[in-house]
Structure 1
Amino acid sequence: MGTFDNKVVVVTGANTGIGAATAMKFASEGAQVVLAARRVDKGLEVENTIKAAGGKALFVRTDVTQRADVEALINRTLDTYGRLDCAVNNAGVSGPVLVPLADVEEDQWDEVMNTNLRAVWLCMKFEIAAMLRGGAGSIVNISSIYGTKPHDLGAAPYAASKHGVNGLSKSAAVDYATQGIRVNVVAPGYTHSDIIDSYIEQAPELSALVVARHSAMNRVGDASETAEAIAWLCSDAASFVNGAVLDVDGGSTTKLV
């Protein structure tokens, strides 16, 4: 018996990195996973990988910044599986890197806020409505260690958006605590992804210095390690955990206090 046998889970940003690893983790534990992402090729690749391993998955092309797409995603989930038990809102962008606040352009600010914060609210709006119909549910929003404190210079839009995710999640946790819905946050540190791996490849020496400075464990995390934390928060084992922000960062935040 898997932890999530016959549970229905939506994962956004499920085409790569933490999102893909999370989708695979849920599927391996028996869940019926709905994969949401913009890139069709990558989304279908993850869907096929899950199915090849004996899991259940459905890819739905979704731009989480668009209300119509998000509404269609949740409706497709309900039409196909009849309910929604868990949701992982993972889609996000890094925005401008090493750019001082006064040099950030309005369109850069808006893109980060729309994708990292407004889209999380938009997804939760429809996810919570679906979960209320079912009487219970669990949501995990993916923030970042930058949602606690800015770990580097020149990351104002990203840090602001992730602080917003933490506040939004805690507010929702209180709003729906007596209605069977839990809302928590996972805040990853430096974790292997397309973006991080490209940085490491392009500047290995600088990347090594950054990792040494940030991680008490002196390494970059693996997406599967973050996926384990996400799955635990969604499980019944975390039934009394609500409104929490769980750092999965190898001790980065503690080291830099």
Structure 2
Amino acid sequence: MATLAPATFLAFTQPADLLVQSLVAPARGALSPVARAPRQAATAMGSSLRSRRPSTTGPLHDRRIVITGASSGIGAAAAHQIAANGGTVLLVARSLDKLLEVKDSIEAEGGTAFAYPCDITDSDAVERLIEQIVHEHGTIDMLVNNAGRSIRRSIALSHDRFHDFERTMSLNYFAAIRLILGLLPHMKANAFGHIVNISSIGVQTSAPRFSAYVASKAALDAFSDVVATETLGSGVTFTTIHMPLVRTPMIAPTTMYDAFPTLSPEEAANLVVRALVKRPVEIGTPVGTFGELMHALAPKITDRILHQAYKAFPDSLAAQGERNPGEKAPENNTKSTGPGLSRRTLLLARASRLARTQPLSGTATAMMRLLPGIHW
């Protein structure tokens, strides 16, 4: 599998000429200018907002900030950076043990953090969570909807998996809305609030195999766009971050991503801090903006390009039917599956082994180089 130089994902506040250069760069033989730029460019967006020790006069001083999915990945990294900028972090995730590890780490650096274990797909649990944090902290200033799940599976393998769509919407959309609806009255009463939603570059590019994931993120985008027009006069604003590919546990099952240019969780956390401090309407990348333009100006051509991407990149191992490492094998599998399904399972397992060992095709490599950060 090819190894690529690290890519940079720039906010679309970068100069327009850099964006244009990245779009006309050749797809073969060299990375585009956006991908060749130093990786530190993404870090630079948040470097001025960070400090090694928590600040009592930082841009987030005296702000109480709820962040979901705070036990690992982007959430944990963002929690550290929020605390370093003076914010009080209210950590939310299902695992108390992991939350306490993040909390202790933040406090060891001199920051302030509180751990709140909660399954945010449970409406009763969310109601209790909101009552508790409002009672204990009074004012809740900001919310970061970071928790999410991703499913990379083609529609051809999804005909009998409606539950995938239900579970994805439950966490990525309905759970976020529960928190927004629960905290909005308190924010409006204080005439201030800011809500950051971690969306995806996939909403802008419509990458194949992510129908469940992209639909859930697009729904939250649309909800926030509408609600923002209603709450602006109350002092409550929204930021949507169209996050490019980030190396977190969520993408680990897709082994081909090992060769992809990605952001680190710390670089992604810079974007979260920027969203909290600057409070723009949207943060994204030139590639994502280009994807939106292509869909608007040349939809048929864009569909053809994406169809080629669909053919170039294989389904993930999980989608192909291979169990994740450590997963217990079902008992008496052949007894209940029948000969047809057993043969299908065998073929999918063989395909997954080939996908693990075969390098990416030339088409796939070219797309990966030219358009870094997309969830192929």
TM category, shorter: 0.7 to 0.9
| Contact 1:101/1:154, CA 8 A, preserved across alignment | no
Q: Which residue of 2 aligns with 1:220?
A: 262
Q: CA deviation at 1:102?
A: 5.1
Residue 253 of structure 1 aligns with an amino acid whose one-letter code is G
Q: Which residue of 2 aligns with 1:6?
A: 62
Q: CA deviation at 1:160?
A: 0.6
| Contact 1:62/1:73, CA 8 A, preserved across alignment | yes
What does 1:64-143 align with in structure 2 at a 5 Å threshold? 64-100=120-156, 103=159, 105-143=161-199
Q: Comparing both structures, which one devotes a greater share of its residues to strand? A: 1
Structure-1 separation of matches of 2:187 and 2:290: 38
Q: CA deviation at 1:73?
A: 2.0
Cα deviation digits, residues 139-165 of structure 1 (max 9, x gap): 0011111122322x2211111111111
Structure-2 separation of matches of 1:165 and 1:40: 27
Once the two structures are overlaid, the 10-residue window that deviates more, 129-138 or 190-199, is 190-199
284, 288, 291: which one aligns with 1:253: 288
| Contact 1:147/1:164, CA 8 A, preserved across alignment | no
Once the two structures are overlaid, the 10-residue window that deviates more, 72-81 or 105-114, is 72-81
| Contact 2:173/2:219, CA 8 A, preserved across alignment | yes
3-state SS in 1 of match to 2:205: coil
Q: Which residue of 2 aligns with 1:163?
A: 218
TM-score with structure 1 setting the length: 0.85
TM-score with structure 2 setting the length: 0.59
* Identity of matched residues, %: 28
Residue 116 of structure 1 aligns with an amino acid whose one-letter code is N
What does 1:37-48 align with in structure 2 at a 5 Å threshold? 37-48=93-104
Structure-2 separation of matches of 1:194 and 1:161: 19
What does 1:145-160 align with in structure 2 at a 5 Å threshold? 145-151=201-207, 153-160=208-215
Once the two structures are overlaid, the 10-residue window that deviates more, 101-110 or 63-72, is 101-110
246, 249, 256: which one aligns with 1:194: 249
Once the two structures are overlaid, the 10-residue window that deviates more, 7-16 or 62-71, is 62-71
Q: Which residue of 1 aligns with 2:273?
A: 231
Q: Which residue of 2 aligns with 1:177?
A: 232
3-state SS in 2 of match to 1:131: helix
Cα deviation digits, residues 41-72 of structure 1 (max 9, x gap): 21111111111111111110111111222222
Unmatched runs of 5 consecutive residues or more in structure 2: 1-56, 295-376
Structure-2 separation of matches of 1:92 and 1:197: 14
C-alpha root-mean-square deviation of aligned residues, in Å? Answer: 1.9
Residue 228 of structure 1 aligns with an amino acid whose one-letter code is N
| Contact 2:204/2:289, CA 8 A, preserved across alignment | no
3-state SS in 2 of match to 1:138: strand
Structure-2 separation of matches of 1:6 and 1:121: 25
Cα deviation digits, residues 176-205 of structure 1 (max 9, x gap): 001000011111111110133453xx44xx
The question of 1:61 aligning with 2:112 is answered no
Unmatched runs of 5 consecutive residues or more in structure 1: 212-218
Q: Which residue of 2 aligns with 1:20?
A: 76
Structure-2 separation of matches of 1:104 and 1:133: 46
Larger radius of gyration: 2
Cα 1:99/1:66, change in 2 over 3 Å: same
